[in-house]
């Protein structure tokens, strides 16, 4: 995040934005799978900075969304709390933040998956902003630091980027260079916080510190919470519900024996069998991660994936096509 009020101007040079776009295209062209959430975040931050004319009626100005702990707490201004992370003071501010987001976003989204990554970003925005407010309020109450921190104005995505850096480097045992200084990778965010504060004027110390602490808190909560992520379950449920009509139409109209893209009924295809198991009721080949048959809902009876059953039709029950369709419809309708 960068500090300052009244320093932002709308008529800025846009010479760096084409370079950002070119770099993004090159990086994405190298990827087999293009992370959509990272691309959406890059586009959102850039569009907000450019402020196209057709968005003027609905897009607040930067003066309306400055992150200011005093104003947020006094007026309970959630617009400042959330939107300030997506505004940038000038072109270099946007350029370097988006380059960092491109690199970190690709890694995290590829490893997490798009649904979990989007939830992680939303969580980190709220946590980094919240921790920053808590730090500013604590400094006011304990040391009477009102002007330096509690009344500070700042904007930018760098608090979230510091949190992402903490998450990426948490388990690393390697070393990395930070501005020419060799440090353990897991402590790179702390080294960058100190060096930026020393050599880059106008940055928000509390905003960056809040991001680091938010990343540590996120990792701590994730380690303590051993169950399935409820938000992830909700997203997957919505995705399953939205894709159900397409899967149902493909099932009714498809002429190939393969169903759902992960198995076949009575099929003999040659493929990696270490991650599939065959249902004893309908002969559907299911993913090894499933405990019930995706075709008919029958529970898994064997002790693990079986490769021999895939090439044999012994003990296959004779089920009519209508019966298989009925069970498939009943399974999807749950």
User: Are 28 and 99 spatial neighbours (Cβ–Cβ below 8 Å)?
Assistant: no
Q: How far is 48 from 60, CA to CA, in rounded Å?
A: 9
Q: What is the pTM of this model?
A: 0.68
Q: Is 93 a residue of the active site?
A: no
**How many CB atoms are located within 10 Å of the residue 325 CB?**
12
- Per residue in 216-244, pLDDT (tens digit) is 999 999 888 755 555 566 556 666 666 66
Q: Which long-range contacts (CB under 8 A, 24 or more apart) does 80-83 make?
A: 81/129, 81/133, 82/125, 82/126, 82/129
Catalytic residue among 88, 118, 154, 208: 208
Please check the confidence at residue 142 and state whether its pLDDT lies above 50: yes
**How many CB atoms are located within 10 Å of the residue 181 CB?**
12
Q: How far is 273 from 258, CA to CA, in rounded Å?
A: 15
Greater confidence, 33 or 125? Answer: 125
- Per residue in 57-80, pLDDT (tens digit) is 999 999 999 999 999 999 999 999
Greater confidence, 81 or 281? Answer: 81
- Per residue in 302-333, pLDDT (tens digit) is 544 443 333 433 433 555 666 766 766 665 55
Over the Cα atoms of the chain, what is R_g?
A: 26
Quote the DSSP letter at residue 65. T
Q: In this predicted structure, what is the pLDDT of residue 2?
A: 72
Greater confidence, 6 or 52? Answer: 52
Q: In this predicted structure, what is the pLDDT of residue 248?
A: 66
DSSP assignment of 78-125, as one string?
Answer: HHHHHHGGG--SSHHHHHHHHHHHHHHHHHHHHHH-HHHHHHHHHHHH
Q: In this predicted structure, what is the pLDDT of residue 320?
A: 65
> CATH class for domain 16-253?
mainly alpha
Catalytic residue among 158, 204, 264, 309: 158
Q: Is 208 a residue of the active site?
A: yes
- Per residue in 191-212, pLDDT (tens digit) is 999 999 998 888 999 999 999 9
Please check the confidence at residue 106 and state whether its pLDDT lies above 70: yes
* Neighbouring residues of 99: CB distance < 8 A, sequence distance ≥ 6: 20, 23
Whole-number Cα distances in Å, 84 to 5, 31, 226: 13, 31, 33
């Amino acid at each position: 995040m960068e500090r300052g009020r009244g320093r932002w101007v709308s008529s800025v040079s846009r010479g760096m934005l084409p370079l950002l776009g070119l770099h993004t295209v090159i990086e994405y062209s190298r990827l087999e799978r293009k992370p959509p959430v990272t691309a959406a975040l890059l586009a959102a931050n850039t569009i907000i900075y450019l402020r196209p004319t057709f968005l003027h009626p609905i897009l607040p100005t930067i003066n309306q969304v400055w992150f200011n702990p005093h104003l947020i707490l006094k007026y309970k201004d959630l617009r400042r709390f959330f939107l300030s992370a997506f505004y940038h003071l000038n072109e270099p501010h946007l350029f370097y933040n988006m380059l960092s987001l491109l690199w970190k976003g690709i890694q995290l989204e590829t490893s997490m998956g798009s649904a979990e990554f989007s939830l992680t970003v939303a969580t980190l925005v709220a946590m980094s902003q919240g921790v920053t407010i808590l730090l500013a309020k604590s400094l006011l109450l304990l040391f009477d630091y009102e002007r330096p921190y509690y009344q500070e104005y700042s904007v930018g995505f760098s608090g979230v980027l510091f949190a992402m850096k903490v998450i990426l480097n948490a388990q690393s045992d390697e070393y990395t260079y930070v501005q020419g200084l060799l440090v353990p990778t897991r402590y790179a965010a702390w080294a960058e916080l100190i060096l930026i504060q020393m050599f880059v004027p106008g940055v928000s110390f509390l905003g960056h510190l809040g991001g680091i602490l938010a990343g540590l808190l996120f990792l701590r909560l994730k380690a303590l919470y051993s169950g399935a992520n409820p938000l992830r379950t909700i997203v997957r449920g919505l995705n399953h519900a939205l894709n159900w009509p397409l899967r149902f139409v493909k099932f009714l109209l498809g002429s190939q024996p393969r169903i759902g893209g992960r198995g076949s009924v009575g099929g003999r295809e040659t493929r990696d069998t270490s991650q599939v198991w065959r249902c004893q009721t309908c002969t559907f080949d299911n993913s090894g991660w499933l405990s019930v048959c995706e075709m008919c809902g029958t529970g898994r009876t064997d002790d693990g994936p079986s490769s021999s059953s895939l090439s044999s039709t012994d003990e296959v029950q004779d089920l009519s096509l209508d019966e298989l369709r009925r069970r498939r419809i009943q399974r999807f309708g749950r």
